[in-house]
Structure 1
Amino acid sequence: MAHEIDGIKFEQRHGKARVRVGRVWKSENGRHSFTEWNVSISLLSDCLPAYFQGDNSNIVATDTMKNTVYAKAKECSEQLSMEDFAIGLGKHFTSFYKQVATAIIKIVEKPWERIYIDGQPHKHGFKLGSEKHTAEVIVKKSGDLMVTSGIEGLALLKTTKSGFEGFIRDEYTVLPETRERMLATEVTGFWRYSYESLPGLPAKPLYFSDRYLDVKKVLVDTFFGPPKEGVYSPSVQRTLYEMAEAVLGRFPDISSIQLKMPNIHFLPVNLSNKDNVIIKFDDDVFLPTDEPHGTIEASLSRMRSKI
């Protein structure tokens, strides 16, 4: 929170970071559900005396914040999305403590996935996946809120249907133009929901979890195109835009989306021997390299939205 003291602008917040919690839900038929969250809490509160006078009477101890995470996880008798868990934490801190004006809750979900044995889902077995589901929720004492979900580490690669032509050429340009190359990236994305107050939230407990899976599917499907013929990518920029546009077009409850898509290079290998005879490979042997790599990012927002 910002305050002006003797002509000096002073801003402060405090919280607890990297609170790790695992939660198991057990149904009557013996089927277990499991999630692991890494929770970070930041409170904007009126506790100036702690800074100016050494008076801690208005401070919510960060150890209390940690314990609250575990207590609230225990109270969740039914499986819920981590966005809803974050909203619940934010509601608690802003309503229980009169001096807390705003709670910012960030959660990263570890990608545990149910395992399948002989094609059948295991009732209590899980394996670690790859990309991570993220969330940031801002809850204000007034009931206003902002919900942003995201994905990290979504690695995608296609071995054809990609090119790069017509770019600026100058004395430092050696990159050849091509209509045939591999395209690989690791997507980081964030999307903001249109819900702006606690009363307007969907009542479905796993609404945000389902929407996360929906958004991921749209991103992946748009990147690759139809399974047989695929879709041509003239640049990472164009593919990024098409992916973001597809998400906004599909989900009216999402007001904005930001994508970061580094261009991870697979360089065609060509060899020369001592007689300088070139052994040219036919786009089938590559040198994988991620340093250096291109960086491409952009955001799309509906006109009434800010990201």
Structure 2
Amino acid sequence: MAAKDQIDGLNFQQRHGKERVRVGRVWRHGKEGPHFFVEWNVSITLLSDCIPAYVHADNSDIVATDTMKNTVYVKAKECSEKVSVEQFAIILAKHFTSFYQQVTTAIIKIVEKPWERVSIDGQPHDHGFKLGSERHTTEVFVKKNGALGVTSGVEGLALLKTTKSGFEGFIRDQNTILPETRERMLATEVSASWRYHFDSLSSVSMDPFTETYLDVKKVLVNTFFGPPKEGVYSPSVQATLYYMAKAVLGRFPDISSIQLKMPNIHFLPVNLSSKDNPVIVKFEDDVYLPTDEPHGSIEASLGRIHSKM
């Protein structure tokens, strides 16, 4: 997405913004209550009518990127109550499109660092946090006419199960050495993004995003693993990906589409032998060589009919 114009008989597209604006925000629940903490990495892109800056060296319509950076901190300060990363992105985007006449669209991308509250002796700590693993992401665009698009996601969601996975019936040719199996390790690092059906600022009457993010993540994880005792069989990463995507759409009517990327991170069976000892280590689904390069790359998207992917 970029502002597109014709200049001197040529197509010209431009956009500008500020990348990697890092902000931490603490909210205190009363004098004696628990603290809440987030750390966000914010990227701002503005589509604006500022052609003179490029063709006439006239900067009078430019929103300085330093101003964009400062606006992140100002708006974080103005959020006196805890807000989700999606809601903060909407607040920023709405500000840029409403405050500046020449800005037609604002695109805000934010990655939330996974700080989690610690527990001491089984009790949640009021102001203690530790760094987790997977990251909460969002991308929001707001147009001057109030049109809205919200995409949320998770990155770095590492999942592994030691059984209930196989891979059979694939194409075999002269270059195929991979054996078929109904018993293997399955490991991946899920990147997921889902698009909400909200299409205008007026259609978001509250802040449902944090709860939905946690629930979507739970559905993805539960579908991958299955019940705690018996699990669920995975005939391929492709099939498991589809089950996960379909489960999300079936559970959340506010989500119109979801995209999943699930690399197949390999744990290779270890067999060791020598001339004198043919069985130093015999693989029996127990000893593996972990490796992440090269790995299989599997991704797909699933959306409701008439939804925008």
Q: What range describes the TM-score normalised by the shorter chain of this pair?
A: over 0.9
Q: Which amino acid aligns with 1:23?
A: R
Pick one of 167, 170, 174 that aligns with 1:171.
Answer: 174
The CA RMSD measured in Å over matched residues stands at 0.8
The Cα offsets for residues 198-253 of structure 1, whole Å up to 9 and x where unpaired, read as 0010313xx20111000000000000000000000000000000000000000000
Q: Secondary structure at the match of 1:101?
A: strand
Q: Secondary structure at the match of 1:177?
A: coil
Q: Find the counterpart in structure 2 of residue 263 from structure 1.
A: 264
Q: Find the counterpart in structure 1 of residue 110 from structure 2.
A: 107
Is 1:116 the counterpart of 2:116 in the alignment? no
Alignment of 1:128-143 (within 5 A): 128-143=131-146
Residue 281 of structure 1: how far off its partner (Å): 2.0
Where in structure 2 are there 5+ consecutive unaligned residues?
Answer: none
Q: Find the counterpart in structure 1 of residue 79 from structure 2.
A: 76
Q: Find the counterpart in structure 2 of residue 229 from structure 1.
A: 230
Pick one of 182, 188, 193 that aligns with 1:190.
Answer: 193
Residue 275 of structure 1: how far off its partner (Å): 3.4
Q: Find the counterpart in structure 2 of residue 295 from structure 1.
A: 297
Q: Which amino acid aligns with 2:254?
A: D
Is 1:304 the counterpart of 2:306 in the alignment? yes
Q: Find the counterpart in structure 2 of residue 181 from structure 1.
A: 184
Q: Find the counterpart in structure 2 of residue 87 from structure 1.
A: 90
Alignment of 1:22-41 (within 5 A): 22-28=24-30, 29-41=32-44
**Take 1:122 and 1:283, find their aligned partners in 2: how far apart are those partners?**
40
More strand by share: 1
Q: Secondary structure at the match of 1:175?
A: coil
Q: Normalized against structure 1, the TM-score is what?
A: 0.98
Q: Normalized against structure 2, the TM-score is what?
A: 0.98
Q: Secondary structure at the match of 2:183?
A: coil
Q: Secondary structure at the match of 2:292?
A: strand
Residue 276 of structure 1: how far off its partner (Å): 6.3
Q: Find the counterpart in structure 1 of residue 253 from structure 2.
A: 252
**Take 1:177 and 1:275, find their aligned partners in 2: how far apart are those partners?**
30
Q: Secondary structure at the match of 1:272?
A: coil
User: Which consecutive aligned stretches of 4+ in structure 1 deviate over 4 angstroms post-superposition?
Assistant: none
Q: Secondary structure at the match of 1:294?
A: coil
Q: Find the counterpart in structure 2 of residue 44 from structure 1.
A: 47
What is the aligned residue count?
A: 305
Q: Which amino acid aligns with 1:295?
A: S
Pick one of 279, 285, 290 that aligns with 1:283.
Answer: 285
Residue 174 of structure 1: how far off its partner (Å): 0.2
Residue 117 of structure 1: how far off its partner (Å): 0.4
